[in-house]
Every structure is written in structure tokens, then in C-alpha cells.
Structure 1
Amino acid sequence: MSIFNAKKPRVTAWAGCLICGAVLSLAFPRTNFWWLSWVSLCPLMILSFHPRLRTTLACGLAFGAGFFGCHLYWIAIFGKLPWLALTLFQSLYIVAWVLAVRYAGIRLGPWGRLLLLPSAWVCMEWLRSIGMLGFTWGDIGYSQHQLLPLIQIASLTGVWGVSFLIAAWNAMLANIATYWNTGRRSISYQVCAVLLLLSAVLVYGVAAMRSPMPTDRQVEAAAIQGNINTDTEHDLAYFERCHGTYWSLTRKAALAGATLIVWPETAEPGYPARDQFLEYSLSQLALETRSYILLGAHDEDQQGRYFNSGFLIAPGQGIVGRYSKVRLVPFGEYVPARRYLPFLSYYRVTSVDLTAGTDFNLLKAGRTKIGLAICFESIFPYICRTLTHSGAEILCIITNDAWFERTAAAEQHASKSVLRAIENGRYVVRAATTGVSCIIDPHGRILARKGIFEQGIVKAKIVPLRRKTLYTRMGDWFVFLCFGVTGGLTIWSLCKRMTN
């Protein structure tokens, strides 16, 4: 079976899936054609049940190559081999999904497939996020970051619920194409069911966005975007440029009323924890501006281990809180099995392995508890959820996206912060070295924003919040429900096969 009319249907199917994958990448920043995600999966879902197994697997690989090859094109900054390797590795998840739904759903009817396809898709995305090489870039739920009424469901289900809705709509379209001639009544009921589900989600989203926000305990927060390229020699001139820029912008933010000022990841080129004069200088800056300063810098312990850390500086007190990044970037901050991969020295990988922090501790600025995620950590829902569940009243994200250059990667990265805000019902203050810096409210509305390669300050009033969303309290319950549905339908299909 093929939805493509051609003399060579298998070749056309592969090419069609390759194109559909590439088209899906346009649903994400910077193009943001979000509606493409609601149709791009449909051909792949139809071809998952192609009579030829090789054609099915080839279609899955082609779709993955088209999507991840285009969506992650910026990885080529580090070389073509890393880009090809990551594209192939991520495409294997699509192949695994195609293989799983083919065997689990081959004997299921349209209703069974309507449940199986989106549930299995959510399971696949969650599996992509776990482990040492976990990676959430490309989860389809993030393509809807601008549709705020729709994505309010993330406060209940996490981003996985948004992915489920998109996959369910595509599954409905696939069933229409497959079963319309033989079961129009059943398909009509399916369309009504999916439309009813989407309507309920939108009604919930609109109601959530209209709910009043607390206004007590307001804090004037500012994120500093120095627009300094960190991929240069760290000489005396670099130190002077960093200090001159960030100290000047900090004073301007304080004059505008900010009492919590956030610098980006590694914005401070020195080592505040071991340099007493630097710590004293930062303490005096905080005292002068009457503000708490949260900044990113490297740290070194007595064993000579290096950490990527965030430090909270209190007025006149110096360092009152420290958080070391727990989830490091593979090949960017450490190289797994470095001794067995000598050829990586030809590519832009780190020459010094950083050490991961041990726990997701909170920082306390006066009475306000702050949860800090550093760069790569913000793409994983469980990290911000863990911080909020531990009592964080505000979420801060500091990142250095300068190495993305002028690609779409910085905007793709920033879009994930919108979902983190909604999932946990918290204000998010995001400070990026060269952009995108922004402040986001608990419903995903961007209150202030500074684009890439601009210098300046983003400032807004935020409120420390304590109420926890269902997602914060329950975690990835929706994912485990999808695993249960997928497993149950698989067992049902196998039983039918054995009976027949």
C-alpha cells in the first residue's frame, strides 16, 4: 500500500518520507510553520503498515534522515561527521517506532491504531530523552510553542501531552486515507472524537490563561545579555571586556529597579569561589546595586576537578549559593570513552572533561527560592520539574549559545523554555550570552525578549509562586500511561494473531 502514485512505489515512498521529514523541520524555529507538524507524520504512519518490511524500515530511516538532517543542520558547525552521526543515531528511533507499531498494530482496527500510533510516538520521544546520550531536540510538542492555549495542557501532562495531540491528529488522517472506503461511519466517529479532544484542550487552555495571576511579593528581575563571543582567547582584554560590559549593564538594570539580576552561563571568566578579591568585588557590586546577582562561571575543587556552575551573590555577603551543572553535554563538556575515540581531536570537542554536579539544589535570594538550570539542562523536562518539586518559586535558565552562531539553534533552544514555564507554573528568567534572553510568565507569555547578537537588558516584574501543577506533582505519569496503552494494545494484537 502506498499513498504515492508512481511507477516505482517503493522509491517514491522513500523519497516522499524523506521530503515529509524535511517539511516537518519547518514547523520549528526559525520558520515556525507550526501547522506542518499536524500533517507531516501522516504518510509515515500509513507506510508503517506497508506489506514489505524493508520498505517500511526504509521509510522510517528516510523520514528520520529528512527531519533530523534539516532540524539539526547547525551541528555541521562542528563538522560534517558529527552532523551525519547524530542524524543517523536519532533516525534509528524513528525506525524503532515504525517497527514497533507495525508489529503491534498490524492486526488492530482503526480505533486500535488511533490509540497505538500517538501513544507509541510519546514513548519513543521519552526514550530519546533518557540515558547518557539523551536528546529532546525535535520532539514535536515544541513546534507549538507559540500556540499558548493549546500547550497549556503541558501543566498536566508535560510536553508529552502536546506531542500526543499532534500524533493523534496525524493518526486520524492516516486512518481516513486507509479506511475511508471500507468504514466511513467508524472514521466519522474518530474524527468527532479527536475534534472533541482538541476542543476540550483548547477550552482548558483558554480558561487557564484567563485565570488571575498573584501580584503579591513581586520581584523586579532582569537578564543581562552581554553579546560577548566566548569562543575567543581568554586573555586580559577578554576579562576586561566581560567585566566592563556586565558590570555596566548590571548598574543600568539596578537603576531601572531590578533586584534580581541574572548573568548568562560562564559570563564571569574568573573563578569566584577561589578568588577572594573577585568574590569581594562582586559582593560590592551587589551591595552598590542593592540586588542579588546570579551569574555563571567555572569552578574548581581541591582535587582539581572543574565544574560548570552558577553562583548567587548577595549584597555585601559574597557567595550565598552555588549550583553545579548535573547534566553535562556529551562531547561538548566531556567526552565519553575519550581514550577510545582519538579521531575526535580533529573536531570541535572539549579538550578538558568537566565534572557533573551531584544534586539539583536550590539557591535562596532572601525569602525567594530559585531553581537554576544551566544550558543543556533546560531541554529536559524532568530537571526543571525536580527543581520546582523541591520548592523552587522561580526558575532561572542561564546559557551560552554563542557557539550556535547565527543558525536557528538558539531560537530552537529558547522555545523549550516556554514549555518549562507552563509545565511547572513558574516564571522563567532566561539569560543567554548572545541571545535569546527572555522572561516568561507561567502561561508561556514572553514578557520581555532580546534577540540573538544584541546587547542589552530584558526586565519584567515576576512573582515567586508556590502552587504546584499536576505535572510538577506527578511527573511523567502521562508517558507511563502511554507505555501502558502501547503495551496493552501490543498484547491484544499478539493474542489476536495467535488465535487466528
Structure 2
Amino acid sequence: MVAAPVTPDQPVADTPPARRRDVRGTLLRTLLTAAGGAAVFLSFPPRTTWWLAPLGFAVLGLLLHGRRARAGFGLGLVWGLAFMAPLLRWTGEFVGLIAWLPLALLCALLIAVGTAAMAAVSRLPGAPLWMALVWVADEALRAVVPFGGFPWGKIAFGQPEGWYLPLAAIGGAPLVGFAVALTGLGAAHLIRDWRIGVPALVLPLAAALAAATLVHTDPDQGTATVAAVQGNVPRAGLDFNAQRRAVLDNHVARTLLLAEDVRAGRAEQPDLVIWPENSSDIDPFRNVDAANQIRRATEAIGAPIAVGAVVIDPDDKLPRNTVVLYEPGVGPTDTYTKRQLQPFGETMPYRGFFRIFTDAVDRAGTFQPGTDPEGFTMGPAKVAIDTCYEVAFDGVVRDSVTEGANLIAIPTNNATFGYTEMTYQQLAMSRVRAVEHGKAVIVSATSGVSAIVAPDGSVSRRTGMFTADALVATVPLRGEATLATRLGAWPEWVMTALGLMAVAIALTTTRRRTRPTPGAGAGEEDTDGGPAGAA
């Protein structure tokens, strides 16, 4: 039969109302999801709106509940992009979109894998708990994949001002992230079952208040007067290495000025001095003039200096990102080589493959990692050294602390990221590490922000960006190990295992529900998320 043609006086069928509602609903969910991810970004430093992170998880919890894993993946991708794209804006400050957007997309895809799993467990009894545990598992995944991991967006790193920070002393960054996620997911569950939602909302905050009693700042191994020297760079940008003699001279000059202040009584005599990463990109073992300048500064200040340097290995002729310990009257006595190298900066994964697309990959270094986590003995302090990027990795910092350290130093170089938020994000990580391990932290940056951090995560001294300065303060030396230090990675492993177990149970339950009943027609099948249950 041939359909009759539509005549001008015949009405044309409108879009079905159900379809219009579905399109509007999808658009609304997408906008809400993006708003939730943006809220988590806005909870990160330099802002102090840490309470936005639980709100971001509350939005995620409302939208994921009862969804299929496929829908959870899509929602998580939007949420992750709204979170990661602005958070990682600093990666493209001088190289453009080629580094920034692919990295943000990759991180968002890994988050989407986690939110797909969170959607799967959202139907289980006690859903907020299982969803928060899955989030911990997802953060653990991002800390190892890809290219050795990129844990920069851990939720704990946005909480240096928040109520949850004391939990770091018990279970490190993973426990802080779990508590933030559980609070938000519990709040989302209030409208479904207050008997589950209220405990999930209240218990993390109560635990954080209790954990505050475990954060100690007393100097059980005495005190040390420390100095963090920020010499500054002539200009920001990727070419700061071309200015390496000027950068070295800046740090020598600022240390000599500090020595004058000490002699004049305007500053305390430091027991130890921390220079930043890349403060001497001229190898002092190969360049006599550079070595003499560093010795000059060491003798003037009368204290050992940890100097961030690029050192060429005499055997393989490849560079090492190394901190060299200089002591007055002696010279170089010890070295620490950075163990966790930054991909696409200090190293270039799959260099040959990426060169197909751009020869800019050859600007990445060929640095070789170190293996020894032991830091330096400097005056009365045993100093753990964690260089720049290393502070983002739980295990790297923990290994350096368990070598007997009673103080942590973070030499870093932020000049390649200009005036972006990167330096504030990194300082937040240092504050979390201070509480996690119960140690004072000295952050020394080439161009800002340098800081002295107390064991409770508070900042007692800090510099501005792109200014020459020297911070001097007396800090407690603490040998006592926190519970987080003693437990190590166990809290994260246990939470990850429980989260994966919940995913396995949820998937098994779903398969049983979707299995056709013998003798039943297709219309009688319980699809658990099919047409009747689809959102």
C-alpha cells in the first residue's frame, strides 16, 4: 500500500512530547553534571572554598543513582572534564592545547571509568559507602596509569583548609578523599533513605573532628632554624634553562643578602638552607665557576645548603635532576636524585610515536631517575627530599620519610608555568603531606610560592610569586611516626579492595536480574535498567 501524500491542509506531526522531555532532561543532567565537576575544581587552592567538593559529589551521587554503567561513564566524563580541564590549565601555559586538553581528557576518561563503576554499585544497600570506596579505587588507578600515574587531581589536595585534613594523619590522602566523597554522596542519599544518608553525611565529619586530636606539633627531637631561598628567574617560560647562569647568580645573591641580614641581627642564623629545584642547572661537578659560586654562598651563610642541580652522569652522559648537599668548609658531600620523573617534561614516553605528530617532543628531556629515597643530614635535622612532582605521589613521600626523617623539604621549580595556579596546588599537597607524616615542610621554589609549613598543615611563612626572597623560621623536628606513616598504603589497598568487591557483587546481581525467566516472554523479562528503568 502506498502512503497518501501529505496535503497542505493536513497537520504535520510534532516531535513526541516524551522525546522532547528526554532531550530536555539529558541537557539538564549534562549541565548539572558539569556544575558538579566545576564545584570540585573551585574547591582547590588558591581558593579556600573546600566545602564545594562535597557539594560536587552530592550532585554526582544524585545523577548516578540507579543508572546503568554506560550512563555513569558518560556523566562521569562530563563531570571529570569540568573538574580537570580548568584544574590542569597550567600544563598548557606555554605549550598551548597540545599538552593541556589531551591530559585533561585522559584524566576525565579515567574518572569516567570510576563513575561507571559507581553507578553499578549505586543500587546496593548502603550505596554511598560503596560509591565512595569505588572513588578511592579510581584515584588509586590514576596514581599509576598512564606513564607512571598522574595523581594531581586527588580530592585530598583540595582540602588543606578543610575540616577533613586531620584524617590525613590516620589514612593519608586516600582517607581524606574517601571522607569528602562519602559526605557528598551521603547528602545525595538523604532524599532516598535518611537512615543511610545521615550516617554517611555525619560520620566522616565526626571522624575528622576526632582525628584532630592525633595531629601533634611538639618537637620531640628538638628544633631547627631553616631557610628557604627563592632567588627568582629573569623571566617566566620554557626558556628559563637558557637563563641558567642568571638563575644560579640570583640564588647566590639572595643567600649572600640573607647572610648579611644574619650578621646585622635582622635574621636568625639558619641551621640549614634549602635552594629550589633547578637553582643550578649548571652542573657544579663539571663547571668550576658554578661550584665556586655555590661554595661562596655556603661559606657566607655558614650552614649546609641543599642545591637543586642538573648533574650529568659521568658513565652514561645522561642528566639527573639532583639535589647536591654543600657543607661549609667541605663542599659537596651527598646527593639525592629525583625518583619520580615528570613525563612529557623530564622524560618523553613513546618519543618516536609522538614525533610523528610534532617534533616538539624533542624538547622533553632524557633524565634518568634515582633509586635511593634517603635524604640528607643537615645540622640537627634529618631531611627527607621530595623534588617538585614527587610530592604528588603518596609512596614516594612515604619512602623518603621512613628513612628516619624528622623534616621534609620540597625543592621545586614553577617558572615554566608562569602565574598559573600550579604553585598553589603544589603547596596544598605539601600541607597535606605535613599532616600525613607529622613533619614540618620547607617548600623552596625558584619563582613562587615558597613556604614554611607546620606539622598541622598551617603556613607560617610564604613568599609572593616571581619575587626574590628568603624565609627563615624555627620549626619542630618530629621523629614520631603518624598512624598514616606506619600503615603506609594499607588503608588505600583495603578501601580499593572493598570497592572492587562491591562492583563485582553489583555486576553479578545485575546479571542474575537480567537473565530471562524460563518460559517468560521478552516483555516479561526483568532488565534492570532496560526501557522501563532507563533514565
- Regarding TM over 0.5, the answer is yes
Check 1:494–1:335 CA distance in 2 against 1; reply closer, same or farther (3 A cut). closer
Q: Which amino acid aligns with 2:208?
A: V
- Does structure 1 residue 71 correspond to structure 2 residue 87? yes
Task: Kindly state the Cα deviation for residue 233 of structure 1 after the two structures are TM-superposed.
Answer: 6.3
Q: 2:180 aligns with which of 166, 174, 177?
A: 166
Equivalent residue, structure 2, for 1:251: 259
Equivalent residue, structure 2, for 1:456: 469
Check 1:378–1:213 CA distance in 2 against 1; reply closer, same or farther (3 A cut). same
How far apart, in 1, do the equivalents of 2:157 and 2:243 lie? Answer: 39
Check 1:239–1:379 CA distance in 2 against 1; reply closer, same or farther (3 A cut). closer
Alpha-carbon contact 2:255-2:301 (below 8 Å) kept: no
Q: 2:209 aligns with which of 202, 211, 223?
A: 202
Q: TM-score, normalised by structure 1?
A: 0.90
Task: Kindly state the Cα deviation for residue 294 of structure 1 after the two structures are TM-superposed.
Answer: 0.9
- Does structure 1 residue 298 correspond to structure 2 residue 307? no
Q: Which amino acid aligns with 2:175?
A: G
Task: Kindly state the Cα deviation for residue 347 of structure 1 after the two structures are TM-superposed.
Answer: 4.3
Q: Which amino acid aligns with 2:256?
A: S
Q: TM-score, normalised by structure 2?
A: 0.84
Q: Which amino acid aligns with 1:20?
A: G
- Does structure 1 residue 93 correspond to structure 2 residue 110? yes
- Does structure 1 residue 238 correspond to structure 2 residue 246? yes
- Does structure 1 residue 283 correspond to structure 2 residue 295? yes
Q: Computing the radius of gyration over CA atoms, which structure comes out larger, 1 or 2?
A: 2
Q: 2:224 aligns with which of 207, 210, 219?
A: 219
Alpha-carbon contact 1:249-1:457 (below 8 Å) kept: no
Task: Kindly state the Cα deviation for residue 240 of structure 1 after the two structures are TM-superposed.
Answer: 7.2
How far apart, in 2, do the equivalents of 1:128 and 1:25 lie? Answer: 17
Alpha-carbon contact 2:220-2:479 (below 8 Å) kept: no
- Structure 1 gap segments, 5+ residues each: none
Q: Which amino acid aligns with 2:225?
A: E
Q: Which amino acid aligns with 1:167?
A: A
How far apart, in 2, do the equivalents of 1:281 and 1:233 lie? Answer: 18
Alpha-carbon contact 1:122-1:164 (below 8 Å) kept: yes
SS across alignment from 1:358: coil
Alpha-carbon contact 2:224-2:380 (below 8 Å) kept: no
Equivalent residue, structure 2, for 1:176: 190
Check 1:99–1:314 CA distance in 2 against 1; reply closer, same or farther (3 A cut). same
Check 1:223–1:236 CA distance in 2 against 1; reply closer, same or farther (3 A cut). closer
Percent identity between the aligned chains? 27
Q: 1:152 aligns with which of 166, 187, 203?
A: 166
Structure 1 residues 115-154: aligned runs within 5 Å: 115-131=129-145, 132-147=147-162, 150-154=164-168
Alpha-carbon contact 1:386-1:472 (below 8 Å) kept: no
Structure 1 residues 9-408: aligned runs within 5 Å: 9-49=25-65, 51=67, 54-77=70-93, 78-106=95-123, 108-109=124-125, 111=126, 113-131=127-145, 132-147=147-162, 150-177=164-191, 179=192, 183=193, 187-188=194-195, 190-192=197-199, 194-205=201-212, 207-209=213-215, 211=216, 213-214=218-219, 217-228=222-233, 229=235, 231-232=239-240, 234=242, 238=246, 241-242=249-250, 245-252=253-260, 254-255=262-263, 256=267, 257-276=269-288, 278-302=290-314, 303-343=316-356, 345=358, 347=360, 350-408=363-421
Deviations 1:89-144 (A, max 9, x none): 001112101221233444x13x1x12111101011111111142411222111221
- Structure 2 gap segments, 5+ residues each: 1-20, 514-535
With 85-94 and 366-375 compared, the bigger mean Cα shift is at 366-375
Q: Which amino acid aligns with 2:399?
A: T
Alpha-carbon contact 1:310-1:323 (below 8 Å) kept: yes
